[in-house]
């Protein structure tokens, strides 16, 4: 009976190894050449291209000989080698088998999945598969636009109902007995949630239809962080959560949009508060790194399991925490964050450890940092 060989794994890291006969490699190349997705094979150190399939060559208008004289950086004018190697760290240390990123190419939205392959004779290579996701994004946009149309019709009457319930709860209309007060409290909480859902949908629709303001100007990132923490302090108090700000900068001016950045930090903070247990601390960090500035929000929640991380930043999806409890939410918050940060050209990332909490952060690139005033000892403030 003929046996099917399994891919060999590198002894130390467990990464796949290419150890095939010439006949097998010829067969695999035939398969790759027939794919509609672009396939790129390039060295893991210099990023020099070793192979591109027909779909990849057609995308760039290169011949096979031209491709061999280029690096993967030549495939896009905006390709950032430092950012790529930072993203590839989990591949080198064996934490992940692959990384997937959604990018905006001049041809439209694309999804790129990358793996690290180790060969016995020629060293290590990255293999990236590029897929055009224009159709998928169009469907997502149609979905958001359809729901946003309904949301526009809902917001006005819902706002009126919400206002009336708030007056009832405050006792402006009449004094309520305990039973009636309990019913009104439930109604207020649910209208709060409905308004949040409607506003999230409308925000996402504004971003996708280029109706949201993304104008860039000089701004004080530390002031923005402090103001945002103050805004969420009430919610933190209601949930018995302590807020802590940690920074290694006394001052910092950057190019950005303060409203949008505050929206991102608020979203991170709301999630951190929601997932943290009573009595925990949510930490806001601001650090200078390689000339850029990293803004982070960390919680002490249950963390996110690896199989749930793929759902993050996707519209209308919500990852379930490792404790199995589903928190209330629209499933749009991180999708809005992702869309905002892409428009600002601020890379976003996160780390999470089951049972230890999660950290979400974005990085203001060095070329958008105007000046900073470092402090020798990191200052800590509590809110």
pLDDT in tens, the chain (383 residues): 344 344 444 544 455 555 556 677 778 888 889 899 999 999 999 999 999 999 999 999 999 999 999 999 999 888 888 888 988 888 998 878 888 888 877 778 889 999 999 888 888 999 999 999 888 878 777 776 777 677 777 778 888 888 888 888 888 877 888 888 899 888 988 888 888 888 888 888 788 777 889 999 999 999 999 999 999 999 899 899 999 999 999 999 999 999 999 999 999 999 999 999 999 999 999 999 988 999 999 999 988 877 777 677 776 666 555 555 555 556 678 889 999 998 898 999 898 888 889 999 999 999 999 999 998 654 555 45
Q: Are strands 8-9 and 292-298 parallel, antiparallel or unpaired?
A: unpaired
- What pLDDT was estimated at residue 293? 96
> pLDDT value at position 16?
53
Q: Spell out the alpha helix ranges (H) of 257-314.
A: 258-275
Instruction: Look at the alpha carbons of 63, 49, 133, 343 in this order and tell me if their dihedral is positive or negative.
Output: negative
The predicted pLDDT at position 224 comes to: 96
Contact present, 298 and 318 (Cβ < 8 Å): no
Output the pTM of the full model.
0.59
- pLDDT of amino acid 13: 47
Q: How many Å from the N-terminal Cα to the C-terminal Cα in the chain? A: 70
**What's the pLDDT score for residue 304?**
84
Count the helix, strand and coil residues of the chain and give each as a percent rounded to the nearest 5: 45, 30, 30
Task: Report in angstroms the alpha-carbon separations of 365 from 45, 83, 260, 291, 338.
Answer: 23, 10, 16, 7, 16
Q: What is the CA radius of gyration of the chain?
A: 25
**Distances from the Cα of 204 to the Cα of 123, 137, 154, 333, 360, angstroms:** 44, 13, 16, 9, 20
Q: What is the pLDDT of residue 377?
A: 53
Residues 6+ apart with CB under 8 A from 218: 253, 254, 255, 370
């Amino acid at each position: 009976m003929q046996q099917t060989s399994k891919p060999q794994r590198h002894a130390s890291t467990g990464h796949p190894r290419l150890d095939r006969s010439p006949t097998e490699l010829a067969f695999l190349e035939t398969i790759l050449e027939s794919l509609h997705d672009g396939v790129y094979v390039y060295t893991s150190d210099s990023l020099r291209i070793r192979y591109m399939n027909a779909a990849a060559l057609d995308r760039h208008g290169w011949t096979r000989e031209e491709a061999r004289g280029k690096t993967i950086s030549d495939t896009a004018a905006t390709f950032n080698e430092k950012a790529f190697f930072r993203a590839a760290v989990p591949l080198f240390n064996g934490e992940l088998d692959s990384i997937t990123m959604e990018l905006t190419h001049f041809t439209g939205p694309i999804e790129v999945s990358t793996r690290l392959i180790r060969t016995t004779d020629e060293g290590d290579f990255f293999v990236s598969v590029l897929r055009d996701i224009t159709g998928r994004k169009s469907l997502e946009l149609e979905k958001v636009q359809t729901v946003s149309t309904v949301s526009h019709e809902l917001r006005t009457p819902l706002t009126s109902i919400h206002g009336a319930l708030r007056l009832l709860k405050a006792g402006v209309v009449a004094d309520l007995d305990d039973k009636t007060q309990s019913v009104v409290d439930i109604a207020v909480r649910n209208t709060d949630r409905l308004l949040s859902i409607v506003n999230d949908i409308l925000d996402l629709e504004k971003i996708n239809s280029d109706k949201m303001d993304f104008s860039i100007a000089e701004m004080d990132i530390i002031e923005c962080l402090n103001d945002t923490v103050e805004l969420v302090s009430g919610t933190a108090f209601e949930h018995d959560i302590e807020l802590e700000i940690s920074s290694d900068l006394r001052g910092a001016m950057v190019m950005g949009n303060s409203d949008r950045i505050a929206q991102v930090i608020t979203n991170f903070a709301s999630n951190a508060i929601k997932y943290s247990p009573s009595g925990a601390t949510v930490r806001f960090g601001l650090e200078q790194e390689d000339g850029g500035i990293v803004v982070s929000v960390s919680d002490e929640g249950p963390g996110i399991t690896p199989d749930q991380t793929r759902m993050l930043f996707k519209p209308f999806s919500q990852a379930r925490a490792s404790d199995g409890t589903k928190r209330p939410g629209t499933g749009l918050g991180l999708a809005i964050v992702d869309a905002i940060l892409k428009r600002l050209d601020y890379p976003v990332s996160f780390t999470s450890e089951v049972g230890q909490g999660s950290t979400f952060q974005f990085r203001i690139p060095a070329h958008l940092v105007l000046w900073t005033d470092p402090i020798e000892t990191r200052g800590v403030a509590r809110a």
